[in-house]
Structure 1
Amino acid sequence: MSTPDETTSPATSPVKLGILTSGGDAQGMNAAVRAVVRTAIRLGAQPYAIYEGYQGMIDGGDGIKKFDWDSVGSIMHRGGTLIGTFRSKEFRERAGRLKAAANLIEHGIDHLVVIGGDGSLSGLDLFRQEWASLLEELASDGRITREQAAAHPTLMIAGLVGSIDNDLVGTDMTIGADTALHRIVDAIDDLASTAASHQRSFVVEVMGRHCGYLALMASVAGGCDYCLIPENPPADGWEEKMCAELKRGRDAGRRDSIVIVAEGAQDRAGNPISSEYVRSTLEERLGEDARVTILGHVQRGGTPSAYDRWASTWLGHEAAKEVLAATTNSPGMVMALRGNRVTGTDLMEAVQDTRKVPELIAAGDFDAAMALRGGSFTEMRQIFHELAEPGRVEPGSGAKRVAIVHAGGLAPGMNTAARAAVRLGIARGHTMLGVRNGFVGMRDGQIEEMTWDDVEGWTGEGGAELGTRRTIPSVEHLYPISRSLEEHGVDALMVIGGWNAYQAAYLLHSEKDRYPAFNIPIVCVPATIDNNVPGSELAIGTDTALNVVVEAIDRIKMSGSATKRAFVVETMGRYCGYLALMSGMAAGAERVYLHETGISLGDLYRDMEWLRESYENGRRLFLAIRNERASEHYDTEFLAKLLEEEGKEEFDVRSTILGHIQQGGAPTPFDRLLATRLTSNALELFREGWADTTGRSNKSWYIGLQEGRVAKEPLAHMMEHVDPTFRRPLDQWWMELQEVFADVSYEPSTPLHDSL
């Protein structure tokens, strides 16, 4: 047991902060732990890792260990949790919490960050509320001194939600949910190929006892046929409806059928709907060979996605700052992601709202349960309904004719966007047209009607079946383009692409007075791995590219694990450093070089001085990420040669330019969902333009995600919000994350770059 002088006041010794993971494990927990530890050190606190969740706090001894900067090195790519987790029954009793409080006081810890689910967080709040009485009881029993109790009058807490179910009300995403969705969608993609080979149906059961997030989003992202979730049980007779939809797909030529069932699915009477019951129903009513796949705990395991690394890093950084800034009157807070922002919300309010959902489901108030899940959840449920159970698949007479065109560089998810646009457009009564080969194809009249079946199988395909070109129309091409639109009776134009696509759409809109064919609603949908178009915090394809970069870096780092080595990796992005900064955060880089901040000789000199000393003190690996146009003169080869010269015999150097692999591959679940959501909103904007009776039906917009919601901006004002020289928005939200990157990457003794 400690003596009074071992727990001196914060004025003379560092604040001591404990970090633990509790409940079910979730990919990304290690990134959060790393961020909490390193941010605490940067802020002058001493972090302690508490092993095996609350049980480690109860057991004490080796269950509570002092951590330093290197204690959390090279853990970003690891699944699970480095410090272990446990569902402690003992902590539920006051006697267990007394032991936990005594062990924290022994180490002088009165700040605590907990990563877990609603049960773990409610236990944390109870612990905070009882803290004063626990210390009083411990002091009365002589287990701690009165001086120790007085030195730690309040327990400061912050919570992070680690849950693959994404079930906490008040946050858009929880730690681990994105990676779990990757596991499910990968499995669906794999199952689809074997199902098609045998003309077979598969019933896939996914996790989600009270939350249908994984089931619903996997159904949309995987192009599935039917989905059963707890919050929105199917109406009576659902079996017949499900079989009818699957039969319609087969009659249209589809060779496979996939039904997704959340583990907590039930009917409106509260009776469980098992995956086995669904399978037997399909076999009996359709006479098909149906199989069940229960994914189980593979959804929890494996390497975390890029999102679960950088987002968890940000959450951990903010949690450490929150708890270290807390006062004796501060409420318990849980750090939540809302849109692309981290915000604090009342811990118990969030837990209570989360626990209301199963209560509402049990009471049969399904609308209220869906409402608590948030607007985007409800929106995706409606979109899936349209995709899986369309009211019609043939447009009626007088249907509006909507053309889809890709332009600019290729972005994974373009096929998903085109497929969603075609099918949602048809479901909403429009005639959908596809333009081949960008605006060049539009000029040459390569426009054809697209049917429901034409886009079968496009959901998870990389590339762009319609083709794309970077060409922006020249003045002499405007007339043939206008003639082509007139000849095909185009009533609206959806432009899916990046910077060049936006420039082309802006040109057409600007020329609408000269060319009547351009006097139609035009909507730009962002699709570019560069993430450099205005009006959207994230573009379709960016998440896929980021995952490709991070996966490549993981392998590159592994190649240097047996020796002392420094790596310089170049990412794409042109003049936008999004891929560089976010991959640096997600892959655990020590330095990132961006065009937005530039590269100075002073920064390079300080980096080389620090690096030389760092290798002399035992460093074995160094990673720098460089945006492809970070500097005109200090290119990737120069940085590698500089490192090689300075490293001499101490370490060797390798440089890698990742190139076009960043544009390839199947789109991630996030990019598929984003593509579907944005094209759905684009179609609704066309309705708005057509319904305008004021004579301004030529309204045109560019749309995108802004703080979690889909927002629109007038295309006419686009140039006011961009830097045309460097082809990027004037406002880039992710630049705020430089502070986060610095706090988890620059050791306290290291001088920061001038830009930081």
Structure 2
Amino acid sequence: MKTIGVLTGGGDCPGLNAAIRAVVRAGIRKDCETLGIRNGWQGLIDGDVEPLTDFSVSGILPKGGTILGTSRTNPLKEVRDFQKIQQNMKKFGLHAIVVVGGDGTLAAARDVAEKGIPIIGIPKTIDNDIVGTDASIGFDTAVTTVTEAIDRLHTTAESHHRIIVVEVMGRDVGWIAIMAGIAGGADEILIPEVHFTMEEVCKNLMARYEAGKKFSIVVIAEGAHREDIGLPPVPDHIRDECGHEKFVGVGNLLGKEIERRMGVETRVTILGHVQRGGSPTPYDRVLATRFGVAAVQLIQEGKFGTMVALDGYRIRSVPLRDAVSRQKTVDAGFYELAKLVIGGRK
């Protein structure tokens, strides 16, 4: 009997528990025991594990977050940490580790795999920025949540003749903003991949106003370029330990500038972590289930150092090194498509 470890790392998102459940249940069918590793890589370093049975994963399919907990621990930051991982692999008789994570967690998985630890990756991130897979766990739920929020904001914007700015997640890529913006009928969509000017944004919004449309919805990704609004780069003292900007609300800054330039009442809604919480959509539940089952199959086949991926409707595997080689960004063609349908200025 093989023993499989499963861990979830990085930010939480809906669908993680569905993936854990699938690994456990597929493992049982393949005569494998599954150990849950608590709090991401930190649990593998500390040897903090728990047996996962069919009973322990019952009822978790619709539950958001992760029953195993998560962390952003770098397993290779200290030499002794990797040595502890090696020791715990032997101690618990682990034949392979299923790592469910985003680009940071999977980059660590690639590095750990290259040091000889049998790893299978499962992509999860609401940003949908992992190359090699058409979708990641959590993305569909996030887009659905944002779309529903935009639908609700439309009614108050129209009733009060306001401009409403909606800030959504997206540090380096604008997949949530553009997909939810199209689905929700936004009038402007501002993403990190495309530079914009305040003159252009206000011109487009004023054209709607002059055409008799006295309200607008502007969707902006949190990582949209501050300099486009006329603000300086973020100083080091408001960055986190990884050098990432600590976001202070680019939506608020945009809203104030729109109101100042146009003289139209502008309100701002920052959705924040509500985009990552709650129950996964049916799509994410099924995707996570398929990924979990495929991960167990790859273990059976000994195809380590790979990540399960969605290719159209088919599940396949890709090398981890390819999956984290770059970010999957919104391409110019897709953004041009969005521009054809947003705004309604003519």
Alignment TM-score, normalising by the size of structure 1:
0.42
CA distance in 1, matches of 2:253, 2:177: 17
C-alpha contact 1:203 1:291 (8 A) present in aligned 2: yes
Amino acid at match of 2:164: F
Q: Percent identity?
A: 40
1:383 aligns with 2:337: yes
**Cα deviation code 1:221-279 (max 9, x no counterpart):** 11111111111112xxx212211221222233324211111111115799669222321
1:295 aligns with 2:282: no
1:283 aligns with 2:259: yes
The aligned length equals 329
C-alpha contact 1:92 1:123 (8 A) present in aligned 2: no
Among candidates 113, 118, 131, match of residue 128 of structure 1: 113
**Cα deviation code 1:167-205 (max 9, x no counterpart):** 112211111011111111111111111111211111111
Runs of 4+ in 1 over 6 A off after TM superposition: none
* Higher Cα radius of gyration: 1
CA distance in 2, matches of 1:223, 1:288: 20
Q: Which residue of 2 aligns with 1:248?
A: 207
CA distance in 1, matches of 2:9, 2:97: 13
Q: Which residue of 1 aligns with 2:245?
A: none
1:351 aligns with 2:328: no
Amino acid at match of 1:257: S
1:104 aligns with 2:66: no
CA distance in 2, matches of 1:172, 1:307: 13
**Cα deviation code 1:341-360 (max 9, x no counterpart):** 11111111120122xxxxxx
- Aligned to 2:22, the other structure's residue is in SS state helix
Q: Which residue of 2 aligns with 1:39?
A: 26
Change (3 A) 1:288 1:389: closer
1:93 aligns with 2:93: no
Q: What is the 5 A alignment of 1:80-479?
A: 80-89=65-74, 91-131=76-116, 155-234=117-196, 238-266=197-225, 267=227, 274-326=250-302, 330-354=303-327, 373=329, 377-388=331-342, 393=346
The structural deviation recorded for 1:68 is: 1.7
The structural deviation recorded for 1:389 is: 5.7
Q: What is the 5 A alignment of 1:559-578?
A: none
C-alpha contact 2:164 2:216 (8 A) present in aligned 1: yes
- Aligned to 1:345, the other structure's residue is in SS state strand
The structural deviation recorded for 1:17 is: 0.6
C-alpha contact 1:28 1:308 (8 A) present in aligned 2: yes
CA distance in 1, matches of 2:231, 2:336: 22
Q: What is the 5 A alignment of 1:663-682?
A: none
Q: Which residue of 1 aligns with 2:59?
A: 74
Q: Which residue of 2 aligns with 1:550?
A: none
C-alpha contact 1:31 1:313 (8 A) present in aligned 2: yes
Amino acid at match of 2:15: G
Q: Which residue of 1 aligns with 2:240?
A: none
Q: Which residue of 1 aligns with 2:236?
A: none
CA distance in 2, matches of 1:15, 1:43: 9
CA distance in 2, matches of 1:379, 1:172: 16
Change (3 A) 1:294 1:382: same
Q: Which residue of 2 aligns with 1:618?
A: none
C-alpha contact 2:41 2:74 (8 A) present in aligned 1: no
CA distance in 1, matches of 2:332, 2:310: 18
**Cα deviation code 1:525-547 (max 9, x no counterpart):** xxxxxxxxxxxxxxxxxxxxxxx
CA distance in 1, matches of 2:222, 2:103: 19
CA distance in 1, matches of 2:214, 2:103: 42
C-alpha contact 2:10 2:101 (8 A) present in aligned 1: yes
CA distance in 1, matches of 2:99, 2:33: 16
C-alpha contact 1:49 1:65 (8 A) present in aligned 2: yes
CA distance in 1, matches of 2:280, 2:19: 12
CA distance in 2, matches of 1:199, 1:388: 18
C-alpha contact 2:120 2:304 (8 A) present in aligned 1: no
Alpha-carbon RMSD across the aligned residues, in angstroms, is 2.0
The structure with higher relative contact order (CA 8 Å, sep 6+) is 2
The structural deviation recorded for 1:99 is: 1.1
The structural deviation recorded for 1:27 is: 0.6
Amino acid at match of 2:44: M
- Aligned to 2:141, the other structure's residue is in SS state helix
The structural deviation recorded for 1:112 is: 0.9
CA distance in 1, matches of 2:323, 2:216: 38
The structural deviation recorded for 1:91 is: 4.9
- Aligned to 1:373, the other structure's residue is in SS state coil
Unaligned runs of 5+ in 1: 1-13, 132-154, 355-371, 394-756
C-alpha contact 2:76 2:112 (8 A) present in aligned 1: no
CA distance in 2, matches of 1:384, 1:190: 21
CA distance in 1, matches of 2:184, 2:203: 20
Q: Which residue of 2 aligns with 1:455?
A: none
1:53 aligns with 2:40: yes
